Amino acid sequence: MILRNFELLFNDSNNFRGSVLHDEKLSKHTSMNVGGPASLFIEPADSESLVYALKCCIEGKIEFFVLGGGSNVIFCDEGIDVVICTRKLNSIQSGLEGGKTIKVGAGAVWAGVIQFCKRENLGGFEPFTGLSGTVGGALFMNASCFGLSTDSRLLNVTYLDTDDFKIKEYKKNPADWAYKVSPFNDGKKIILEAEFSVTEGFDKSLSEATIASRREKGHFKAPSAGSVFKNDGDKIAGRLIDECGLKGKTVGGAQVAPWHANFIINPEGKATYKDVLALVELIKNEVYKKHGIQLKQEVLFIDKEFCAPYTGED
């Protein structure tokens, strides 16, 4: 099915509510500010429309990518066919199921969740203050900040199983989770909503200390996708890179942050996908030469051919 015919499926207001943009620059939707256009950038307004959009892509054999906040992805310079962005699924509500809980849409950004917790005087997520991206993205990555992982307070997740298009409920099983490991990593389960436990009382000073620490580490100084490589126990990626003398190293418009060796930045907005990828490969080679350690990427490189994350390990 060609994209023009495919797009007609989204004129059906019984099945789809939301917006469809053409040739939308993905650099506008990623924290690194890198990436070519999405031929169609689809933003479903509710879960049913998201499910419909996914179904249309899968049945039509259209390559697509599910995007949250774009803070952990680098899109290729040529762009890709279809991006389905979750950011309109941003409901946040408190619930009560045997204690205090919050129910959050996959596209809710953490800034919104923290604001909600502050307003409702709910605690538990203060270490996530200042984290970029959405709840869905954090569950996929099992993002962790200052000792708290996304799964730490997770109770259950409502998701679409793209194998049989059924909406299912996942109840948290601690065995499924580890550092940067999540049962949603396979990309086949699309998160719609999640429920977390919270406590009574928002800790304002912890929240402020968290944001101050991020500021001090230079998180907000330049466009980036956060830490590029995973740590491996006491093998801290940033330290290994720093010991290779790579802080400030550039390839094209991409640079190893002079203040944080595990951040690659796009200081002048001129970096391309190829620049970032080349810098990643250079870092991996240098670290391997000096320390004999293979760094593993945390940031996902999304290429056009397969529209699948390039892990650098193929």
Ligand X SMILES: Cc1cc2nc3c(=O)[nH]c(=O)nc-3n(C[C@H](O)[C@H](O)[C@H](O)COP(=O)(O)OP(=O)(O)OC[C@H]3O[C@@H](n4cnc5c(N)ncnc54)[C@H](O)[C@@H]3O)c2cc1C
Would you please indicate which residues are annotated as catalytic (active-site) residues? 227, 298
Q: Which two tokens stand for residue 181?
A: 């490991």
Report which secondary-structure segment, H or E, holds 148. strand 148-149
Amino acid at residue number 206? L
Per CB under 6 A, 137 contacts ligand X: yes
Q: Which of 47, 49, 134, 162 binds ligand X (CB under 6 A)?
A: 134
Region binding ligand X by CB under 6 A among candidate stretches 76-84, 118-126, 222-230, 280-288: 222-230
Phi–psi pair at 207, nearest 5 degrees = -60, -45
Per CB under 6 A, 125 contacts ligand X: no
> In whole angstroms, what is the distance from residue 218 CA to residue 216 CA?
5
Per CB under 6 A, 42 contacts ligand X: no
Residue with tokens 């101050």: 212
For the CB of residue 301, give the shortest distance to ligand X in the complex, in Å.
Answer: 11
> In whole angstroms, what is the distance from residue 211 CA to residue 68 CA?
21
Backbone φ/ψ region at 283: left (φ over 0), alpha (ψ -120 to 50), beta: alpha
| Contact status, residue 223 vs residue 32, Cβ threshold 8 Å | yes
For the CB of residue 7, give the shortest distance to ligand X in the complex, in Å.
Answer: 21
Q: Which of 44, 136, 183, 238 binds ligand X (CB under 6 A)?
A: 136
Q: Which of 80, 237, 300, 307 binds ligand X (CB under 6 A)?
A: 300
C-alpha distances in Å from residue 49, one per residue of 20, 55, 286: 12, 10, 46
For the CB of residue 98, give the shortest distance to ligand X in the complex, in Å.
Answer: 26
294 CB-contact burial (10 Å; exposed 0-12 / middle 13-18 / buried 19+):
exposed
Q: Which of 47, 49, 86, 162 binds ligand X (CB under 6 A)?
A: 86
Q: Which residue is nearest to ligand X (CB)?
A: 137
For the CB of residue 133, give the shortest distance to ligand X in the complex, in Å.
Answer: 3
Residues of the shown chain interacting with ligand X in the complex, contacts defined by CB under 6 A: 31, 66-73, 86, 106, 131-134, 136-138, 140-141, 143-145, 184, 190-191, 219, 224-226, 300, 309
